[in-house]
Chain A
Amino acid sequence: MNSPITAADRFAELQEQLAALEARVDQSKQLDRLSLIVFSGSLDRLIAAFVLATGAASSGMEVNLFFTFWGTSALRRENVSAKKGFIEKMFGWMLPQGSKKLPLSQMNFGGGGPLMMRHLMKKKGVASLEEMMQLAGELGVNVYVCTMSMDLLGIKENEICDYPELKYCGVAKFLEAASPGKITMFL
């Protein structure tokens, strides 16, 4: 005859099940984290990225910005010389040298559009892109730059602007950071 299941046995079994479930809840817990892929190198999209980033950081979220492809132009310094091959040099001339040289994705009008946009922003009390980048640094927004894009476009590390604890990374780092986060967007 089987021995009867005692209350103590049953209790131990339930405790075990509870521990297993708790571990699963911990694993699937989403972090209050915003991850943005900043692919675009246009002023309007960069403004959107930094409004989101500074707003989220101000609301207590952890924020990671991953700059890739045309987005890396926004982080360039002006007039920095770096050793480059012919095609890299051509890219260097054609890509915007930093946030102040970015075109608009629409209504660029050969560079007149961004000037008009910046004028309007100032007039209406919207913080400039450079002010928001500065604020992002103060608020602890993490900036990562895709090394593949930099190598492809021929952008060297000495061309990248000063930003607190800026890091260089690849896709795996982005995925690791973004996976447990609540919000991930591509701009």
Chain B
Amino acid sequence: MTAIDARGKLCPMPIVLLAKAAKETAPGATITIQADDRAFPEDVKAWCNKTKNELLSLAEQSGYFEAKIRRA
């Protein structure tokens, strides 16, 4: 499982870091990403749609968002 901490980074960095991690992750594996960019919830949904990766969960923690993604 890969974990990314993109907190404190604004657009487009959370998505860029996610894409970079996805490249190095095997299909079926899970990636967890934390981000506090306000655009992140919509962006991560859009990114998953566009790249055909599966968004397993998206939750708001205290002060940041956490998304789990399964690599397609």
Which residue numbers of A lie inside 8 Å of B, CB to CB? 51, 54-55, 57-60, 124-127, 135, 138-139
Find out whether the CB atom of A135 lies under 8 angstroms from the CB atom of B16. Answer: yes
Find out whether the CB atom of A54 lies under 8 angstroms from the CB atom of B9. Answer: no
B 7-30 binary contact with A (CB < 8 Å = 1; else 0)? 011111101101110000000000
List of A residues within 8 angstroms of B47 by Cβ: 58-59
Find out whether the CB atom of B15 lies under 8 angstroms from the CB atom of A59. Answer: yes
Tell me the chain B residues, 17-47 only, with Cβ under 8 Å from chain A: 18-20, 37, 46-47
List of B residues within 8 angstroms of A135 by Cβ: 16
Q: Which of A51, A59, A125, A127 contacts B19 (CB 8 A)?
A: A59
Find out whether the CB atom of A127 lies under 8 angstroms from the CB atom of B13. Answer: yes
Q: Which of B10, B18, B46 contacts A126 (CB 8 A)?
A: B10
With both chains docked as a complex, state the minimum distance between the C-beta of B13 and any C-beta of chain A, in angstroms. Answer: 5
With both chains docked as a complex, state the minimum distance between the C-beta of B35 and any C-beta of chain A, in angstroms. Answer: 10
List of A residues within 8 angstroms of B13 by Cβ: 125, 127
Find out whether the CB atom of A58 lies under 8 angstroms from the CB atom of B15. Answer: yes
Where chain A touches its partner, the secondary structure class is helix
Question: Which residue of A is nearest B13, CB measured?
Answer: A127
Question: Which residue of B is nearest A61, CB measured?
Answer: B50
In the complex, A172 Cα to B22 Cα: how many Å? Answer: 35
Q: Which of A54, A60, A124, A138 contacts B10 (CB 8 A)?
A: A124
Q: Which of B10, B11, B37, B50 contacts A59 (CB 8 A)?
A: B50
Find out whether the CB atom of A125 lies under 8 angstroms from the CB atom of B10. Answer: yes
Q: Which of B9, B20, B46, B51 contacts A127 (CB 8 A)?
A: B9
Find out whether the CB atom of B51 lies under 8 angstroms from the CB atom of A60. Answer: yes
List of A residues within 8 angstroms of B8 by Cβ: 125
List of B residues within 8 angstroms of A124 by Cβ: 10
Question: Which residue of B is nearest A124, CB measured?
Answer: B10
Find out whether the CB atom of B11 lies under 8 angstroms from the CB atom of A55. Answer: yes
With both chains docked as a complex, state the minimum distance between the C-beta of A157 and any C-beta of chain B, in angstroms. Answer: 29
With both chains docked as a complex, state the minimum distance between the C-beta of B14 and any C-beta of chain A, in angstroms. Answer: 10
Find out whether the CB atom of A54 lies under 8 angstroms from the CB atom of B51. Answer: no
Count chain A CB atoms within 10 A of each CB in B15, B37, B46 and give the residue with the most: B15
Find out whether the CB atom of A125 lies under 8 angstroms from the CB atom of B9. Answer: yes
